[in-house]
Structure 1
């Protein structure tokens, strides 16, 4: 395989992963505080909370690279709690790593990704492990929902809350990478990538790489096709028809999205939610629509039929319009 072919096959999320905290995009206040910890050699236990693809793992790895330099892999243990949820992983792998002798550094770092997937027993064991090895080990925990982390662990950590990355920052980074890779792209293609990503930089880069593989210019049509995302105007048109009382037309639009386009019901719920305040309705109608969205989203998450729930949502909106 040629070097050029190998380069094309490299995953861009890894190729463009930040090497330093200063390279992490979208969270200058957080990275400034983390850099001060590293500069003072005073790293506490850390808890990173926030949605996927916003820089939690990138920040943890960047800390390790800045603290250990070329030795970071030997002093940094990364575990994914969603794959290893039981108490045994805390008792065995974490303790064994924390006990291992090492030289040249005052502590090692254990990064536990998706820590909110740990069972309560595992979190209790983790708390005791954090106490036992606090002299030579620092823990960085990453989670989507900090409320799922028990209070004794939260109180032992400096908590950082990562918000979705702004559309402007996502667009800027996409343009930089597209130009670095020599891609042809259009501005509506960039806008589509930003919309599809919804603040998730990892999703944006994966979509950009997938779009580039088509061999065509990265434009709006290509992006919406490869990301299985409906155009904002399609979602707004479907809901507007329901708001106007035309359930039949709204149901037909929904059927096209689910059957012909292959969109998932949960993704349609998310897109409708993002568009609620774009509809020409008063606050009362918007609030009722949000209430129905919440019900449908919960029922789908609990295993209800997506099509039934979405049709019921549109029917409820259409009936409300008639009244």
Structure 2
């Protein structure tokens, strides 16, 4: 059974229904064939990756979809190794350098150097031209083509002549905002050095975490989150294409729980379909296990006695989240939302300030558990003091 999020992902610019102005802008960029370095930023699930793939298909053709996954081992001259998952086709390569931690700088330099030193494969359009040049007319075969077909062929030939050969590969770097400062500085120098043979498409959520010299070398493209009506329309389209029926109230419930994340909304819809169908108006919308776990963590912080023993229990729960690869910023964000629902309005401002302070500290450090535990212990102190003063 395939995931609906992959099954119904738009393949071309014409299939995109959200943000038409942005789609028009990207289509115009693709017509130049010589694209600049691009920086896509916006919230998770807003459609950044979908638009990037549409752009690549418009540049290189359908062969971009022939992707294979591999694990690459990096061995550095200064010592040490790193292993990274890579997706690649004949025309592009996609990786997430932040997965290797502090070794991200060396991974970026090695990867771009390797790509730049190899000869780029001809583009989809140039391959078509080569095929046409290699074909010979068969004079013994009867010419049964109509005048209209001949005119269409001439028009296509003219279009192909206008199309330029693309002599570079595209490197997609995900989560660039999580790269170390040294890696970003190295990326700035490397992208200048190999600009003739490769183009970079950077993807991030928080553009302010990227250094100014790197931003200034890219064309910034903001992909905003869709509104509630747009997410609901997308869900209705998926339901229709699956030949299902769903109450409007149920779809609105999914939209409200999705945080305007298209990926999450469609996954929640498919998960609900597996749990129970036909859909009911007041049907329970399944939430991710980690989100339920954090909600339970917030409840134990507020409702259980604020003591060192309880803090030890909470530490074990935090380790559980981290070992299951839940990002630190997501833990901070969801935990803060849950705590704000459980505390008095007089304590909310201070709680938000604490969360912002310790999240910033966690980005500067390398051990998130320390900063998460510090935030919770600090919150328990002010919450216990608030209860003592109140009663």
2:58: which partner in 1? 66
Contact 2:354–2:379 (CA under 8 A) maintained in structure 1: no
Contact 2:98–2:104 (CA under 8 A) maintained in structure 1: no
The correspondence for 2:220, drawn from 121, 134, 159, is 159
The correspondence for 1:135, drawn from 196, 199, 202, is 196
1:175: which partner in 2? 236
Change (3 A) 1:58 1:313: farther
Change (3 A) 1:319 1:50: farther
Secondary structure of 1:221's aligned partner:
coil
Change (3 A) 1:166 1:303: same
Q: Does 1:222 align with 2:214?
A: no
Q: Does 1:126 align with 2:187?
A: yes
Q: CA deviation at 1:205?
A: 1.2
Contact 1:53–1:201 (CA under 8 A) maintained in structure 2: yes
The correspondence for 2:337, drawn from 265, 270, 295, is 270
Question: For the aligned residues, what is the CA RMSD?
Answer: 3.7
Contact 2:254–2:285 (CA under 8 A) maintained in structure 1: yes
Q: Name stretches of at least 5 consecutive residues in structure 1 with no aligned partner.
A: 1-8, 231-249, 253-257
Contact 1:183–1:212 (CA under 8 A) maintained in structure 2: no
Change (3 A) 1:228 1:135: closer
Q: Name stretches of at least 5 consecutive residues in structure 2 with no aligned partner.
A: 65-88, 127-164, 293-301, 305-313, 315-320, 322-330, 360-367
Change (3 A) 1:34 1:316: farther
Q: Please show how residues 84-123 of structure 1 align to structure 2 within 5 Å.
A: 84=100, 86-101=104-119, 102-103=121-122, 104=126, 105-106=165-166, 107-123=168-184
| TM-score (normalised: structure 2) | 0.61
CA displacement 1:4-56 (0-9 Å, x = unmatched)? xxxxx112221122212343453323222111111233411111112211111
Q: Does 1:199 align with 2:215?
A: no
* Count of aligned residue pairs for this structure pair: 283
Partner Cα separation in structure 2 for residue 83 and residue 89 of structure 1: 10
2:26: which partner in 1? 34
Q: CA deviation at 1:268?
A: 5.3
Partner Cα separation in structure 1 for residue 105 and residue 188 of structure 2: 12
1:54: which partner in 2? 46
